[in-house]
């Protein structure tokens, strides 16, 4: 692979320089990594990366610390006599086969549940080999981090476009006006909007005379850098977005622009949203009617504008309605599918738009429901919030075994202390993970994949959410004795399907490759652009490859850009495929091939939103989360370089609230919610608005049985002890993790 060059003077003697994409967050920064032998000497931003141009955050260089972390697992662990002890891979696989078979023998396939964590979106194994694993397990008890995150966006896209994977992103580099709600890219580096150097791209909007407005109950660093900050009352974004749309409709300034011929239902909007005038929502949102009117007029009048909502608008009780309203605003201001507005990326590995008449099967949820509280299936999974009750409650189909793949639900989902207790009662649990953490300490077998630098990388998920079309492949740069991650996932799929643990994981790659070829062959036969020659070339090129590379080569050559693998593999800084282009017609999968602007399930839930208008707001404290640049959900707290310094897991309280409650900076408080209580250090700061308190998630380390030495010293508190699993966004099953009613008192009182 021509991705290295030799350099002198990189520490002890000659080194080699490698380029790869950082897999840690959604920003996909290019890294320049200097190695001497198998030791990482230096990691910095790759100035020649076609997308990130040298940008890097403090986490990017910690791929070195992850590589070297003595707590990171390099051998499987198997429980013997109650203790997790090191074992060979053969022993570990035998234990997995025995454990799964034992549970299967006494229950239905639904007795084995699976939880898929966030890093599955960041690995090739997660993107390509999870599907066969789910197929083999054949269980309806599939859970993932999606229902504590972005599921409302999938549902709004499913209902609007018939396509839950078609997620519009703000065209950051060309927009003249960005209205951003519940997102803090100065800390998160962006989400459902892949844009390395998000801060720089926001600054560029202002430099070219555009405007950035941030809506957040906290005055974040993102808000500080914007033209305007609106400190909305937590949990009320849907009300405010509805008022913006209502105002645009009422003033006659709505304009569907170029997408008008493809949009149904526009005439229903005014009635659907009639209750939500700027006056009507002011009391609940705490945003004055004249401000709402002005923003509506700015949005409608801007030469181009994009509305973008993230975690703070999704992990709330009206997540799907809020997500839908974001799209409605983009549509009715003539900014949908247009440069500078909200657009659909076109990833290079995607199937080629086949040119067939638009139309598809539409989108349905609730094909099955959860056993205990009857929650609807969405995209083949159930809300993560019901996992604990499905383990606790006796009866047929009770969950008796769990497979966790790159997840830490004991810190990341609602009522996670309850889940912790439930996991201890399972008959069998296997985890694919690099650490013994709060979740995996319950496993009977832990299968560790290689570290990031020991495996190849390509962003299957984030090229579909990216503000430019880019392709970038990174080979592994450090050799390892550990099986490749895809082999572990593939072998687990085989074992779960009853195969002998010695069966070759390459079988699964063969199956997946056959599937891709068959799908693309059907498209060619149906008259899609391209021809059999491309497909034959793809098959020939991929034949000499193995695992994910073989599948990627097939997809890229038959995808929209017809990229030969040799070209992708020899472009260490990536290939820029240009800005986003309008493509609404080809992503639509509704039955009639048109946008359903007011889908019936959403219209029904708007009724619930209208009821909430009248609800009392007693002005009590509402808890919201937050992210910190030097953290990443729950799993990077074992890296001293990131966690040292001022404590990060603090409860932020506004000075007025602190005074009223008798709290002081540096003191401690007890926070109580409907489901739990927590002791936390207090940070008094006017960054949070009055009535809002904020605590980050992913902390609460150092519990018995975990093996993360550094994290244990910077333990923090688990904010998900406070989140109520019974409160969900009904359309998506998504968790409410923000706007949680809490009571706060000085510790000990």
Ligand X SMILES: Nc1nc2c(c(=O)[nH]1)N[C@H]1C(S)=C(S)[C@@H](COP(=O)(O)OP(=O)(O)OC[C@H]3O[C@@H](n4cnc5c(=O)[nH]c(N)nc54)[C@H](O)[C@@H]3O)O[C@H]1N2
Query: Where does this chain bind ligand X (CB under 6 A)?
Result: 25, 117-119, 123, 145, 148-149, 181-185, 187-189, 191, 215-218, 220, 232, 234-235, 237, 310-313, 315-316, 405-409, 412, 432-435, 437, 449, 624-629, 631-635, 697-698, 719-720, 723, 737-739
Smallest gap from Cβ 406 to ligand SF4, in A, equals 16
Dist CA 276 CA 265 (whole Å)? 18
Residue carrying structure tokens 């889908």? 599
Q: Is 453 an interacting residue with respect to ligand SF4 (CB under 6 A)?
A: no
Q: Is 56 an interacting residue with respect to ligand SF4 (CB under 6 A)?
A: yes
Smallest gap from Cβ 186 to ligand X, in A, equals 8
Helix (H, G, I), strand (E, B) or coil at 128: helix
Smallest gap from Cβ 35 to ligand X, in A, equals 20
Given Mo ion, ligand X, ligand SF4, none, residue 218, with its beta carbon under 5 to 8 Å by kind, binds: ligand X
Per-residue x/- track, 146-185, ligand SF4 (CB under 6 A): ----------------------------------------
Dist CA 498 CA 427 (whole Å)? 18
Structure tokens at 518: 């068959």
Dist CA 657 CA 645 (whole Å)? 27
Determine the residue with CB nearest ligand SF4: 60
Smallest gap from Cβ 524 to ligand SF4, in A, equals 36
Given ligand SF4, ligand X, Mo ion, none, residue 24, with its beta carbon under 5 to 8 Å by kind, binds: ligand SF4
Smallest gap from Cβ 118 to Mo ion, in A, equals 5
Dist CA 369 CA 66 (whole Å)? 39
Given ligand SF4, Mo ion, ligand X, none, residue 412, with its beta carbon under 5 to 8 Å by kind, binds: ligand X
Decide: 635 and 648 in contact? Cβ < 8 Å.
Answer: no
Closer residue to ligand X, CB minimum distance, 27 or 160: 27
Q: How many Å separate Cα 354 from the centre of its chain?
A: 28
Decide: 738 and 720 in contact? Cβ < 8 Å.
Answer: no
Smallest gap from Cβ 426 to ligand SF4, in A, equals 33
Given ligand SF4, Mo ion, ligand X, none, residue 152, with its beta carbon under 5 to 8 Å by kind, binds: none
Determine the residue with CB nearest ligand X: 312
Closer residue to ligand SF4, CB minimum distance, 491 or 637: 637
Dist CA 701 CA 713 (whole Å)? 8
Dist CA 28 CA 9 (whole Å)? 28
DSSP state of 299: H
Smallest gap from Cβ 424 to ligand X, in A, equals 17
Residues from 5 through 34 that contact ligand SF4 (CB under 6 A): 22, 24-25, 27-29
Closer residue to Mo ion, CB minimum distance, 337 or 381: 381
Q: Contacting ligand SF4 (CB under 6 A), which of 17, 40, 57, 725? A: 57
Given ligand SF4, ligand X, Mo ion, none, residue 217, with its beta carbon under 5 to 8 Å by kind, binds: ligand X
When computed from its CA atoms, the radius of gyration of the chain, rounded to whole angstroms, is 25
Q: Is 683 an interacting residue with respect to Mo ion (CB under 5 A)?
A: no
Q: In this chain, which stretch among 146-154, 178-186, 257-265, 451-459 interacts with Mo ion, using CB under 5 A? A: 146-154
Q: Contacting Mo ion (CB under 5 A), which of 49, 69, 149, 216? A: 149
Given Mo ion, ligand X, ligand SF4, none, residue 739, with its beta carbon under 5 to 8 Å by kind, binds: ligand X
Closer residue to ligand SF4, CB minimum distance, 183 or 384: 183
Closer residue to ligand SF4, CB minimum distance, 64 or 352: 64
Closer residue to ligand SF4, CB minimum distance, 168 or 196: 196
Residues from 59 through 78 that contact ligand SF4 (CB under 6 A): 59-60
Residues from 637 through 666 that contact Mo ion (CB under 5 A): none
Decide: 559 and 574 in contact? Cβ < 8 Å.
Answer: no
Smallest gap from Cβ 610 to Mo ion, in A, equals 30
Smallest gap from Cβ 25 to ligand SF4, in A, equals 3
Q: How many Å separate Cα 510 from the centre of its chain?
A: 29
Closer residue to ligand X, CB minimum distance, 472 or 558: 472
Smallest gap from Cβ 419 to ligand X, in A, equals 11
Q: How far is CA 312 from CA 347, 413, 423, in A?
A: 27, 16, 29
**Site size for ligand SF4, by CB under 6 A?**
12
DSSP string, 523-548: HHHTT-SS-HHHHHHHHHHHHT--HH
Given ligand SF4, Mo ion, ligand X, none, residue 22, with its beta carbon under 5 to 8 Å by kind, binds: ligand SF4
Q: What are phi and psi of 407, to 5 degrees?
A: -145, 155
Q: What are phi and psi of 282, to 5 degrees?
A: -60, -40
> What H or E segment, with its residue span, contains residue 586?
helix 584-587
Q: How far is CA 639 from CA 143, 321, 477, 530, in A?
A: 28, 39, 21, 48
Closer residue to ligand X, CB minimum distance, 316 or 535: 316
Nearest by Cα to 574 from 165, 187, 191, 196: 196
Q: What are phi and psi of 157, to 5 degrees?
A: -65, -40
Closer residue to ligand SF4, CB minimum distance, 381 or 459: 459
Closer residue to ligand X, CB minimum distance, 187 or 640: 187
Helix (H, G, I), strand (E, B) or coil at 20: strand
Smallest gap from Cβ 492 to Mo ion, in A, equals 23
Dist CA 481 CA 450 (whole Å)? 9
Task: Count, in order, helices (H) and strands (E) of the chain.
Answer: 26, 32
Helix (H, G, I), strand (E, B) or coil at 4: coil
Dist CA 333 CA 297 (whole Å)? 10
Q: What are phi and psi of 537, to 5 degrees?
A: -65, -40
Residue 106 exposed, middle or buried by CB count within 10 Å (0-12, 13-18, 19+): exposed
DSSP state of 369: B
Smallest gap from Cβ 730 to Mo ion, in A, equals 21
Q: What are phi and psi of 32, to 5 degrees?
A: -110, 120
Closer residue to Mo ion, CB minimum distance, 69 or 149: 149
Given ligand SF4, ligand X, Mo ion, none, residue 63, with its beta carbon under 5 to 8 Å by kind, binds: none
Smallest gap from Cβ 452 to ligand SF4, in A, equals 10
Q: In this chain, which stretch among 148-156, 162-170, 506-514, 738-746 interacts with Mo ion, using CB under 5 A? A: 148-156
Closer residue to ligand X, CB minimum distance, 183 or 496: 183
Residues from 187 through 216 that contact ligand SF4 (CB under 6 A): 189, 196
Closer residue to ligand X, CB minimum distance, 460 or 535: 460
Number of neighbouring beta carbons within 10 Å of residue 147: 29
Question: For every residue of 194-244, which 3-state class applies, written as one string?
Answer: ECCCHHHHHHHHHHCCCEEEEECCECCHHHHCCCEEECCCCCCHHHHHHHH
Structure tokens at 470: 């880019």
Smallest gap from Cβ 119 to ligand SF4, in A, equals 12
Nearest by Cα to 315 from 627, 745, 613: 627
DSSP string, 588-649: --STTSSEESS-HHHHHHHHHHHHHHHS------EEE----TT--TTTSTT-HHHH-SS---
- The residues that touch Mo ion, with contacts defined as CB under 5 A, are 149
- The residues that touch ligand SF4, with contacts defined as CB under 6 A, are 22, 24-25, 27-29, 56-57, 59-60, 189, 196
């Amino acid at each position: 692979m021509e991705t290295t060059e030799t350099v002198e003077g990189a520490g002890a003697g000659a080194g080699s320089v490698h380029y790869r994409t950082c897999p840690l967050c959604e920003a996909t920064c290019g890294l320049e990594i200097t190695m001497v032998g198998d030791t990482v000497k230096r990691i910095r931003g790759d100035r020649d990366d076609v997308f990130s141009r040298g940008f890097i955050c403090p986490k990017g260089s910690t791929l070195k610390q992850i590589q070297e972390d003595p707590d990171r697992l390099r051998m499987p662990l198997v429980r013997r006599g109650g203790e997790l002890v090191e074992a060979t891979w053969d022993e570990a696989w035998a234990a997995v086969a025995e454990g799964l078979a034992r549970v299967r023998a006494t229950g239905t396939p639904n007795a084995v549940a699976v939880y898929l964590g966030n890093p599955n979106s960041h690995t090739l194994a997660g993107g390509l080999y999870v599907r066969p694993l789910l197929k083999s397990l054949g269980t309806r008890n599939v859970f993932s981090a999606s229902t504590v995150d972005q599921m409302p966006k999938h549902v709004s896209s499913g209902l609007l476009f018939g396509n839950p994977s078609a997620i519009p992103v703000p065209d950051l580099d060309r927009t003249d006006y960005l209205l951003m709600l519940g997102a803090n890219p100065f800390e998160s580096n962006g989400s459902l909007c892949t844009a390395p150097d998000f801060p720089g791209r926001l600054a560029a909007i202002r430099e070219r005379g555009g405007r950035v407005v941030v809506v957040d109950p906290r005055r974040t660093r993102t808000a500080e850098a914007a033209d305007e900050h609106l400190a909305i009352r937590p949990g009320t974004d849907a009300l405010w977005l509805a008022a913006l749309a209502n105002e645009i409709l009422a003033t006659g300034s709505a304009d569907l622009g170029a997408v008008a011929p493809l949009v149904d239902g526009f005439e229903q909007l005014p009635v659907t949203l009639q209750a939500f005038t700027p006056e009507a929502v002011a009391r609940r949102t705490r945003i004055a009617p004249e401000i709402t009117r002005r923003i509506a007029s700015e949005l409608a009048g801007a030469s181009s504008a994009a509305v973008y909502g993230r975690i703070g608008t999704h992990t709330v009780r009206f997540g799907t309605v809020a997500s839908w309203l974001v799209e409605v605003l983009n549509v009715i201001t003539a900014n949908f599918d247009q440069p500078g507005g909200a657009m659909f990326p076109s990833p290079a590995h995607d199937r080629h738009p086949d040119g067939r008449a638009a139309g598809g099967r539409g989108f349905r949820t609730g094909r099955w429901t959860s056993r205990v509280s009857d929650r609807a299936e969405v995209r083949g999974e159930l809300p993560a919030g019901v996992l604990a009750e499905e383990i606790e409650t006796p009866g047929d189909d009770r969950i008796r075994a769990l497979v966790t793949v790159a997840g830490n639900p004991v810190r990341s989902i609602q009522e996670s202390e309850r889940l912790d207790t439930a996991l201890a009662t399972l008959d069998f649990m296997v985890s694919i993970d690099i650490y013994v953490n709060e979740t995996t300490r319950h496993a009977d077998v832990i299968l560790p994949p290689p570290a990031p630098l020991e495996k190849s990388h390509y962003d299957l998920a984030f090229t579909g959410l990216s503000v430019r079309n880019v392709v970038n492949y990174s080979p592994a740069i450090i050799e390892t004795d550990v099986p490749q991650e895809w082999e572990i996932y593939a072998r687990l799929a085989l074992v779960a399907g009853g195969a002998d643990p010695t069966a070759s994981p390459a079988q699964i790659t063969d199956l997946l490759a056959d599937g891709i070829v068959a799908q693309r062959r059907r498209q060619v036969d149906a008259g899609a652009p391209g021809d059999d020659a491309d497909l034959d070339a793809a098959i020939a090129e991929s034949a000499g490859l193995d695992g994910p590379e073989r599948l990627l080569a097939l997809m890229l050559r038959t995808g929209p850009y017809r990229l030969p693998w040799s070209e992708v593999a020899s472009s260490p800084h990536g290939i820029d495929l240009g800005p986003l282009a309008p493509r609404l017609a080809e992503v639509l999968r509704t039955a009639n091939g048109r946008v359903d602007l007011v889908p019936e399930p959403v219209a029904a839930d708007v009724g619930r939103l209208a009821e909430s208008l009248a609800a009392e707001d007693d002005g009590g404290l509402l808890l919201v989360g937050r992210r910190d640049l030097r953290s990443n959900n729950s799993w990077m707290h074992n890296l001293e370089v990131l966690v040292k310094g001022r404590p990060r897991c603090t409860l932020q309280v506004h000075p007025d609230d602190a005074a009223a409650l008798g709290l002081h900076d540096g003191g401690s408080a007890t926070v109580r919610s409907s489901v739990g209580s927590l002791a936390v250090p207090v940070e008094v700061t006017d960054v949070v608005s009055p009535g809002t308190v904020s605590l980050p998630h992913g902390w609460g380390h150092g519990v018995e049985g975990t093996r993360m030495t550094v994290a244990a010293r910077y333990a923090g508190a688990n904010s998900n002890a406070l989140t109520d699993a019974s409160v969900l966004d009904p359309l998506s099953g998504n968790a409410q993790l923000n706007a949680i009613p809490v009571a706060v008192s000085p510790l000990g009182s």
